[in-house]
Amino acid sequence: MPASNVRGILSMLAAVATFAVMDLSMKRLAETYPAMQVTFIRGLASLPFLLLATASVGRWRDLVPNRWGLHLLRGVLQVATLYFFVYAVSRLSLATAYTIFMSGPLLITALSVPFFGERVGLHRWVAVIAGMLGVLVVVQPGGDGVAVSGTALLGGVAAIAAATAYALGVLLIRVLKPTETSAATMFWALFLTAAFAGIFSIKGWVPVLWDHWYWIGIIGITGALGQHFLTEAFRLAAPPVIAPLEYTALAWGMLFDWLLWMTVPNQRMLVGAAIIVASGLYVIHRERLQARVATQTT
């Protein structure tokens, strides 16, 4: 295996672990503060680190946007993603919220058809449908597991909404990529998240306790570090090599649930997670095969 792939894999593993710590911190804050206020904190806490990184290289022009309308739309989608995800982790275990949220890549595959006219073959459609059935297994409306209460069911629906908003946001990044720098895309997503979520959280604002600035600091540091590791991972290795490693977030979620909340996943959640992960990995496998065929025919 090329050395760059090894470094890319290690960077991706570090990114997933770092983001898991950030999500844990947001879940902790969500025990005290409304989900929209936590969304505001997430957006604001990482901004200073991004600005410091930009200042260190002196590339302020990289932050200048070219397509304001699309940045505003992505800001809205980012707020929706974080708000619904924070709401989900406040009602569900981290592992369960992660499991449902990991349907995002499958939704990206499905939505790429109407948005970009991409051709998704029968194999990938079957995988997408199977993954969505896996989500139903986890959410199980009317069942006797995760959705035993209305609160937990709402958490499951929020996780699905977060995955949908995330998928739309990723597709929008593809539209922005030809004209916007990575720094501008990240900066305006964080800035607009803080701005929009800050406005919406004014009415229900809960004063921040001094004891919780520790968690806010962790969110800021891990958010910035996670983005750095993620960027490095995609710079060093091809997406098909590192994309499957995103599913290691499930292991971190289960570990944190057990260590901090003494919660273990039930059988239905594990079955649903297996279906979703297997479907996602199969979609990645098919995309890798198609890319190889396209390379050989050109």
139-187 pLDDT, tens per residue?
Answer: 875 544 444 456 678 899 999 999 999 999 988 988 888 898 888 888 8
146/139 Cα distance (integer angstroms): 6
DSSP 8-state code for residue 143:
S
The pLDDT, as a whole number, for residue 295 is 66
In the predicted structure, residue 110 carries a pLDDT above the cut 60: yes
136/143 Cα distance (integer angstroms): 10
110/114 Cα distance (integer angstroms): 8
Least confident of 66-70, 108-112, 227-231, 286-290: 286-290
The pLDDT, as a whole number, for residue 149 is 55
151/147 Cα distance (integer angstroms): 8
The pLDDT, as a whole number, for residue 41 is 95
DSSP 8-state code for residue 212:
G
pLDDT band with cut points at 50, 70 and 90 for residue 250: very high
pTM here is: 0.90
Stretch 20-44: mean pLDDT: 95
User: In Å, what is the CA distance from 94 to each residue of 20, 21, 211?
Assistant: 9, 11, 22
